Homo-oligomer: A and B are copies of this chain.
Amino acid sequence: MENSQSSSFSLPLRGVIPPMVTPLNEDYSLDTESLEKLIHHILEGGVKGLFILGTTGEGPSLPYQLRHEMVQEVCRIVASRVPVLVCITDTIFSEAIGLAHKAHEAGAAAVVTAPPYYFPLNATDLYQYIEQMAAALPLPLFLYNIPSHTKTAFSDETILKAAKLSNVIGYKDSTCDMLGFHRLHPLLDVNFTQLIGPEELLGEFVLMGGHGGVSGGANVFPKLYTSLCQAALQGDIEKVVKLQNKVGEVSATLYSLDGQSGTSVLQGIKLALSVMGICQEHLAPPLRQLGKEKKNMVEKFLNAFNF
């Protein structure tokens, strides 16, 4: 059965599920050789799943053909070792659904959607969109709140209402808004998975009851993030503070190579992976790869960084 994997994870999903980058060749085709190396590198770090084609995966910049290929290849390489979550966020409804079917066929565990990101939507628009989508999906759905990129945000009310749909099983929050977590957490079912995007907040999010993180840095240093998450799940505060500070160092250097631009996180991650020999640094337009000089800074950082 191609989708045997979808029943292979129990809820809530706990731990680190990295938002994997999409390794590209210079002509923006999928670099499958690097993909194998990358997945091997990440899985060795003890992650509990893979989240592909999201923001860090450059999903919205990639042709559908490539996204389908990525889903196929990732599921093949992972071979059910961990659940694969496929981000299907799109402005074209039928393409989002098409990608979900591809994910199902390939053996992915679930799909993820942020609000469609061109038209600003009100709460009624958004809820009806989610309801319509959930009804058409062959897999469970995670909601993804990232108004910095989609403008439209999930309100508390929309999340609570959508969480009652039978195949909506979790929520990834990339708002940096811990207040929102505290408001929602006591109102959601204990099995409804709550994950956090910004890795700078992973420690406290899990300490306070969150289930895990979709941490971009886990592409580069998977063990740092899984150790941090584990320490938080175990209530080892001293270790949480120590490892969270290490994560802060990653943010302050690797994610700030091109000033505080919104895209410098992705630039830093791909550049580090390229220095480490895991994949190439190519980014699909509109993102730009950084120059030689930055590469030297990254090399220096990687040599000095330990945790």
Quick one: closest B residue to A129, CB to CB?
Answer: B286
User: Given A151-B151, A198-B179, A122–B208 Cβ distance below 8 Å?
Assistant: no
Copies in the complex: 4
User: Does B237 lie within 8 Å of A91, measured CB to CB?
Assistant: no
In the complex, whether A73 has a CB less than 8 A from a CB of chain B is no
User: Given A126-B286, A132-B285, A207-B204, A60–B118 Cβ distance below 8 Å?
Assistant: yes
User: Does B117 lie within 8 Å of A117, measured CB to CB?
Assistant: yes
User: Does B263 lie within 8 Å of A119, measured CB to CB?
Assistant: yes
Write the nearest CB–CB distance from A223 to chain B, whole angstroms.
20
In the complex, whether A191 has a CB less than 8 A from a CB of chain B is no
Residues of the B chain whose Cβ atoms lie less than 8 Å from the Cβ of A284: 93
User: Does B186 lie within 8 Å of A262, measured CB to CB?
Assistant: no
In the complex, whether A61 has a CB less than 8 A from a CB of chain B is yes
In the complex, whether A116 has a CB less than 8 A from a CB of chain B is yes
Residues of the B chain whose Cβ atoms lie less than 8 Å from the Cβ of A55: 118-119
Residues of the B chain whose Cβ atoms lie less than 8 Å from the Cβ of A62: 92
26 A-B interface contacts by CB (under 8 A):
A61-B91, A61-B119, A62-B92, A63-B94, A63-B95, A91-B91, A93-B284, A93-B285, A115-B286, A118-B149, A119-B149, A119-B263, A119-B286, A121-B286, A122-B262, A125-B286, A125-B287, A126-B286, A129-B285, A151-B151, A176-B177, A176-B178, A183-B200, A183-B248, A186-B245, A203-B208
